[in-house]
Amino acid sequence: MTGLQAHYGRVFSFGDSLTDTGNAAILPATAGGPFTRAPYSETFHHPGGRASDGRLIIDFIGGSLRGEVN
């Protein structure tokens, strides 16, 4: 199917063991949890408010689709 392209605006993942970034979403960054400072999200080169050290498989999938990873 040459010449056809699919365009995706978003990819949704419902937090299984391969894509879960933790429960940081329920705590504001101002709460001062450990996820607001290194080493959390260190592969993003700044604390990202995610309870993981950085990118997960879903981030790479989204990036390969030229999507924004957040």
Structure confidence by residue, pLDDT tens digits, 1-41: 566 676 777 778 876 777 776 665 566 656 666 666 666 66
Contact 42, 54 (CB under 8 A): yes
* Residue 37 confidence (pLDDT): 63
Confirm whether 56 is domain-assigned: yes
Confirm whether 12 is domain-assigned: no
The pLDDT tens digits for 41-54 are 667 666 666 767 67
Confirm whether 24 is domain-assigned: no
Confirm whether 59 is domain-assigned: yes
Domain that holds residue 69: 35-70
Domains: count for the chain:
1
Residues in the chain, overall count:
70
* Residue 58 confidence (pLDDT): 81
Contact 47, 40 (CB under 8 A): yes
